[in-house]
Amino acid sequence: MNSCYRGMNSDFAEICNRQIGIVPSTNFSRRFIASEIIVKQLNLEHKLNGHDGCVNAVEFNSTGDLLVSGSDDCKVILWDWARNSKRFSYPSGHLDNIFQTKIMPFTDDQKIVTSAADGKVRLGQVLGDGRVITQMLGEHQGSVHELAVEPGSPHIFYSCGEDGLVQHFDLRNTSARKLFYCTAFAERSRHPPNSIELNAIAIDPRNPNFFALGGSDEYARLYDLRNCRGDVTSSNRVVDTFCPHHLTQTNNFHITGLVFSNSSELLITYSDELIYLFQKNMGLGPSPLTVSSENLLRELKRPHVFSGHRNSATVKGVNFFGPNAEYIVSGSDCGHIYIWKKKGALLVKLMLGDHDVVNHIEPHPHLPILATCGIENNVKIWTPMASDVPPLPDDMEQLQISGQTTNFKEMRHGI
């Protein structure tokens, strides 16, 4: 069936086509949520106040009705964000700033894992009476900036630390399993090799056997979990590496955050540099130093680039936004939230998210809603809202009287 709304505004045409059955309701919902007009309507809905320090971590649960946050105050809060209220809060047991909070899936939101600057990885278990008990699951020699939960697993997750160690956790067991130390490529011939200080770990949701690491050098490394047997003395078995061509072998830049899309795209943000989007075929291979010549690099496709923000003061994350990852979102040292359209890398929205720095942006799993945090002591919720709504006319009462008089005359004359 051909649409009679061709040539109209695309968003309005989508609504019309859905009403007459040309566009299936599920497709319409996903496309409308991702429409640029909705993204441009994002504004601050409210602030979640309850922490006494910088908020470094926020995450929605799988259904999106709850939100967990962690802070420099070493406290974890579970929020009913839509009602702007706390479900509960508890002291995490950490002795330093919390950097990561994750709700384990399929646990009825009763298990929360955390990591912090004290090098510890901990579990918060919610009991039937509402109390929360905590226990240490493992530790690193240095800060633990990020955790990665195996998609759909209520038990398994991974940690990476500034000591370069990657660990595997299974909540059914009492101890963590050390997988390997991530080491610098140029130093592999040395004994012992220098470890990479790790800031970021991400599992590919399309193929959970693969995960990526990023840290104190310019290379994002891709690994296959099936090759990680827990022999920490062996060299890491890298499957592929990703790096913008002009940054290879510079040793001046490092990765602060990375994330996979549902189609296995890898998004990487660099300190004092830009954000880059890599397709699977843009890797440098497992040994990037062997493809450093200009001729070889020229044959490889270049990643998409997103610019305008500043990433220098803190360890910032980066994220996709939209049901099909149609947008890229990042915080900035200038306190703003940047939203780019993935296709074309066009900046479509800029919002003031913090008086100092925005560190983390967490998209809602199903709706065009964002949660953000930074140096301020709160979490901010951003939802699409109408802006520049014209006020009612000043002569509204006169218009109503005129309308009533007109209707009375029409009734008398049988109109």
In this structure, of 7-16, 156-165, 194-203, 248-257, the range with the lowest mean pLDDT score is 7-16
In this structure, of 151-165, 293-307, 322-336, the range with the lowest mean pLDDT score is 293-307
Contact status, residue 381 vs residue 367, Cβ threshold 8 Å: no
Q: For residue 289, what are the CA distances in angstroms to 164, 192, 218, 236, 249?
A: 20, 20, 12, 16, 8
In this structure, of 349-358, 395-404, 405-414, the range with the lowest mean pLDDT score is 405-414
* The pLDDT of residue 403 is above 50: no
* Cα separation, 64 vs 323, whole angstroms: 14
* Cα separation, 206 vs 327, whole angstroms: 18
Give the angle 31-152-160 at the CA atoms, nearest 5°. Answer: 105
pTM of the prediction?
0.85
In this structure, of 89-98, 201-210, 297-306, the range with the lowest mean pLDDT score is 297-306
Give the angle 253-280-115 at the CA atoms, nearest 5°. Answer: 55
Query: With pLDDT > 70 as the criterion, what percentage of the chain qualifies?
Result: 80
How many residues are listed for the chain in this entry?
Answer: 415
- pLDDT tens, residue by residue, 59-112: 999 999 999 999 999 999 999 999 999 999 999 999 999 999 999 999 999 999
Given this model, what pLDDT does residue 19 score? 56
Within 8 A by CB and 6+ apart from 56, the residues are 70, 71, 72, 97, 98, 99, 100, 359, 360, 373
Q: Which two tokens stand for residue 194?
A: 């220098």
Q: Which two tokens stand for residue 86?
A: 């706390």
* Cα separation, 138 vs 66, whole angstroms: 26
Given this model, what pLDDT does residue 35 score? 85
Given this model, what pLDDT does residue 130 score? 87
Tell me the torsion sign for CA atoms 302, 307, 313, 319: negative
Q: Which two tokens stand for residue 395?
A: 């002569």
- The three-class DSSP label of residue 375 is coil
**How confident is the prediction for the chain on average, in pLDDT?**
87
In the predicted model, what is the mean pLDDT of residues 304-329?
94
pLDDT band at 228 (very low <50, low <70, confident <90, very high): confident
Between 336 and 128, residue with greater pLDDT: 336
Q: Which two tokens stand for residue 198?
A: 């790790």
- pLDDT tens, residue by residue, 333-373: 999 999 999 999 999 999 999 999 999 999 999 999 999 99
Of the CA atoms within 13 Å of residue 12, those in its CB half-sphere come to: 6
Given this model, what pLDDT does residue 299 score? 75
Tell me the torsion sign for CA atoms 74, 55, 68, 66: positive
Q: Which residue has the tokens 């940690």?
A: 159
Kindly report the number of other CB atoms within 10 A of residue 149's CB atom. Answer: 19
